[in-house]
Amino acid sequence: MSAHATPTPRLTLGDIAKKKAAREPIVMVTAYDYPSAQIADAAGVDMVLVGDSGAMTVLGYDSTVPVTIDEMLMLTKATRRGLTRALLVGDLPFGSYEASDELAISTAQRFVKEAGVDLVKIERGGTTVHRARALVNAGIPVVGHVGLTPQTATALGGYRAQGRTAEAALAVIDDALALQEAGVSLIVVEAVPSQVMAALAPLLRVPTIGIGAGSDADGQVLVFHDLLGIYDGPAAKFVKRYADVRAASVAGVAAYAAEVRSGVYPAPEHGYGMPEGEAARLRESLDTR
Ligand code: KIV
């Protein structure tokens, strides 16, 4: 047997396209640091998104708007170090790409060069379509994001489902088609009625990743902290909790606190000893001082 284990092959965009062609669902999850990336990779997901949802889930902001490029880069670099197989998507934060093609390219290049992302994600249609085209022309693969776009949720009337009337649904569909035309590699579709996703899916060549968009997308994405139940309080309607990590974590830390307070921890097996005779020599040295 070779001394070196065969490295796990990194997935490529070609692999993602093949999954769509084979109607094999694409699995994406968010991650924000080294351990969450390792967990996502060990679970065999196809794509990891360092979403700007990390502004709320790990940095404690009350929306995604305040997070900075440098904060997102720190989270993205840590995630990169934890991944061996899944494709890595970096989320460009609010204010870091909208104003011009040049701004979008220079921000995206930082995510590629400094954090090693495979793709960058940007939100909305409209002027974002121009930014998407500029990024693709600069050689940077792009993930579009339509429907509920949290960076501009205030303008959309809050965190609520989009495309609920025929006119509003057409606007979501037109955004997605324009992004495809601009050359994006994938499109995230967030919080739209399942009928809208069902109408959109057959119109697109590029894979779609749904979140709160029903089951007609080519794949699904959920936020790591949502699906594992890492925080308290209500989650969006589309979230399914697969674990209660917060409860298990609180119980673990409370048990530790109780054992420290009662003297149960640390036990002798958690400590280090001195070699034979050294403790006696130490005592003698202290006594002769
Ligand atoms: O920031 C994020 O986590 C996202 C996903 C919910 C798609 O944009």
pLDDT digits (tens, 9 = 90+) for 31-73: 999 999 999 999 999 999 999 999 999 999 999 999 999 999 9
- Nearest-CA neighbor of 143 among 69, 52, 60, 55? 52
Same-domain status, 90 and 118: yes
Whether the CB of 79 sits within 6 Å of ligand 1 = no
Please compute the mean of the pLDDT values over residues 21-28 and round it to a whole number.
Answer: 98
Give the pLDDT of residue 234.
82
Same-domain status, 239 and 255: no
Examine residue 129 and state whether it is found in any structural domain, yes or no.
yes
Same-domain status, 125 and 151: yes
Distance, CA 288 to ligand 1 centroid (Å)? 67
Same-domain status, 267 and 216: no
Give the pLDDT of residue 4.
66
Range of the domain at 270: 249-287
Name the residue at shortest CA distance from atom 4 of ligand 1. 51
Give the pLDDT of residue 94.
97
Name the residue at shortest CA distance from atom 2 of ligand 1. 51
Same-domain status, 271 and 231: no
Same-domain status, 58 and 104: yes
Same-domain status, 137 and 257: no
Rounded Cα distance between 189 and 213, Å, is 7
Examine residue 8 and state whether it is found in any structural domain, yes or no.
no
Same-domain status, 27 and 148: yes
Same-domain status, 211 and 101: yes
Please compute the mean of the pLDDT values over residues 243-263 and round it to a whole number.
Answer: 98
Please compute the mean of the pLDDT values over residues 89-103 and round it to a whole number.
Answer: 98
Q: Which of 71, 102, 114, 190 is catalytic?
A: 190
Give catalytic status of residue 114 as yes or no. Answer: no
Same-domain status, 274 and 180: no
Same-domain status, 68 and 168: yes
Examine residue 7 and state whether it is found in any structural domain, yes or no.
no
How does residue 231 score in pLDDT terms, banded at 50, 70 and 90?
confident
Same-domain status, 100 and 125: yes
| pLDDT at residue 3 greater than cutoff 80 | no
Examine residue 77 and state whether it is found in any structural domain, yes or no.
yes
Examine residue 130 and state whether it is found in any structural domain, yes or no.
yes
- % the chain with pLDDT above 70: 98
Please state, in angstroms and as integers, the Cα–Cα distance from residue 104 to each residue in 115, 118, 120, 138, 284, following that order: 16, 16, 10, 10, 70
Please compute the mean of the pLDDT values over residues 124-132 and round it to a whole number.
Answer: 97
| pLDDT at residue 237 greater than cutoff 90 | yes
Return all residues near 199 (Cβ < 8 A) that are at least 6 apart.
169, 173
User: What's the whole-model pTM score?
Assistant: 0.94
Mutate to test the pocket of ligand 1, among 28, 47, 49 (most ligand atoms within 8 A of CB): 49
Structurally, the chain folds into a number of domains equal to 2
Choosing from 223, 243, 263, the residue where a domain stops is 243
| pLDDT at residue 1 greater than cutoff 50 | no
Please compute the mean of the pLDDT values over residues 128-141 and round it to a whole number.
Answer: 98
